[in-house]
Structure 1
């Protein structure tokens, strides 16, 4: 009885080996794409960052000179501070809108599918197109927002909403929330729908109020969904470029220059390609660290019995 088992062992190993090669063959195209379009560009960017690399002329090795330079670059530090401020404000605004919308469309009600579609529609509009649309809406002469605010009595006269920092910043925030909140809503909706209804009903029967159910039941069970939504929102906010380039051109008074906008200026306006590459690597490190910290914070307490 032992001989067939012994004889079948090499065949089983050959099948495992064959299935392993088949698995590698399936993922080989993805590995090739990631290598060509991510790994190799990152390596080349890292190599560029160690050189003084003008657009014209031969590059010159300077080691960590570009990385040391950024600590004394007041404009880069200002761009980093503005990007941090923008990221905090827009992330809070997106979640403040997306969470109520997710609860609204999660319940079965008449026309709920229509509501979901209408709320999600701005997501399919490109960010550049959305920025151009809102530039027109905010135009003091031909736009719709300034006359509307004047008609509602919120302003005494028509205002150029993109002329001052406060109104321009608020306009950009509103545009991004209008554009992104539907996408975040869909992510949060999947997390809400994954919560067993039995738990919610049991908490309601036990007398838990809506806020208590949200705090002690909904949020803990949506940890992974929240992690995904937060990482996408924060990463997208840190990498913001289109809205500032198109809507404000970095103004007013160059106070709305994000980190990516500053990297663009250094690389393709001032032609400091080596310094722009160093800034890009620094931004990549910041994004990785933020994502790791978020995942760690959201996993705290998962191992409790």
Structure 2
């Protein structure tokens, strides 16, 4: 609207501007928390990573020296390889159990609510507490696993499951699957319940068998839910620390040192805070890459105008 050649902002424009400022005011507390507890610590970690930063003494600027050291650090590469190996195996194991469980508790049946509760119960136990529980269960003298395996004829005598790499690794995998599968099941169950029953019924009436309905109907419609569960599982596995620290202390023969465990050792055992900060930034870059892949995975196949 104009008057004598002078333009005035419309009432609608002024309302939109006030609404925008009001929205910023509403999110200001969250932005402040993110800035204080995430952005600033990350920036400070980046600054630390560019220094030789001992626990005691004056930090010394070394530029990208810590990152150059990282590339030639055989122990870090070994930790990265072990973490990738662990992540692949535990993710496959979790999905192999969680998906059938989700399909089982998704159908109406007697006591289905009780089944869901029982399966989900381990999730509410803290990972550190679960690790301590399984350390006791695997104890040769007072635990339950060693005498049970002996009575079943699986072993000639009582063995320490956490003393050998293979048995210790298998024990940790089983513990993590027991602890996490219920959470993944709930995510997958949400996706299954979001599939319209009319589509499944129409496919059944058209003669599609159970496997065909699963392959061509359930899986495509579950793509986004499965991608979310996959990324959460992979991210959590990459950040694994408690189970290795509590159950094996990185052993046997330091073969169970994950990336986070190695960062912990460098930062708080060897007191190489600068190098630990550089390792943390490298791990953050890996997680950001996975997040970008998640966004692509969630959007792939969408119809574009």
TM over 0.5: yes
SS class of match (1:253) = coil
2:209 corresponds to 1:209: yes
Alpha-carbon distance in structure 2 between the residues aligned to 1:276 and 1:28: 32
Q: Give the drift of 1:298.
A: 4.7
Alpha-carbon distance in structure 2 between the residues aligned to 1:152 and 1:218: 40
Tell me the residue number matched to 1:67: 67
> How do 1:68-107 residues align onto structure 2 when only pairs under 5 Å count?
68-107=68-107
Tell me the residue number matched to 2:127: 127
Tell me the residue number matched to 1:165: 165
Tell me the residue number matched to 2:247: 247
Given that residues 188 and 226 in structure 1 are in contact (C-alpha distance below 8 angstroms), is that contact kept between their aligned partners in structure 2? yes
> How do 1:284-295 residues align onto structure 2 when only pairs under 5 Å count?
284-295=284-295
Tell me the residue number matched to 2:53: 53
> How do 1:109-128 residues align onto structure 2 when only pairs under 5 Å count?
109-128=109-128
Tell me the residue number matched to 1:223: 223
Alpha-carbon distance in structure 2 between the residues aligned to 1:135 and 1:301: 45
Q: Give the drift of 1:8.
A: 11
2:178 corresponds to 1:178: yes
Alpha-carbon distance in structure 1 between the residues aligned to 2:118 and 2:18: 49
- Superposed CA deviations along residues 121-159 of structure 1, whole A, max 9, x for unmatched, are 111110000000000000011001111111112112111
Tell me the residue number matched to 2:15: 15
Given that residues 227 and 295 in structure 1 are in contact (C-alpha distance below 8 angstroms), is that contact kept between their aligned partners in structure 2? no
Tell me the residue number matched to 2:303: 303
Structure 2: which 5+ residue stretches go unaligned?
A: none
Tell me the residue number matched to 1:279: 279
2:265 corresponds to 1:265: yes
Alpha-carbon distance in structure 1 between the residues aligned to 2:212 and 2:300: 20
SS class of match (2:139) = coil
Given that residues 106 and 192 in structure 1 are in contact (C-alpha distance below 8 angstroms), is that contact kept between their aligned partners in structure 2? yes
Q: Give the drift of 1:292.
A: 1.6
Q: Give the drift of 1:216.
A: 1.4
- Normalized against structure 1, the TM-score is what? 0.95
4+ residue runs of structure 1 moved beyond 6 angstroms? none
2:126 corresponds to 1:141: no
Tell me the residue number matched to 2:155: 155
- Normalized against structure 2, the TM-score is what? 0.95
- Superposed CA deviations along residues 224-283 of structure 1, whole A, max 9, x for unmatched, are 111211111000000000000000000000000000000000000000000000000000
Query: Which 10-residue stretch deviates more, 261-270 or 295-304?
Result: 295-304
Tell me the residue number matched to 1:235: 235
- Superposed CA deviations along residues 99-130 of structure 1, whole A, max 9, x for unmatched, are 00100110111111111111111111100000
Q: Give the drift of 1:9.
A: 6.5
> How do 1:20-35 residues align onto structure 2 when only pairs under 5 Å count?
20-35=20-35
Structure 1: which 5+ residue stretches go unaligned?
A: none
Aligned-CA RMSD value: 1.8
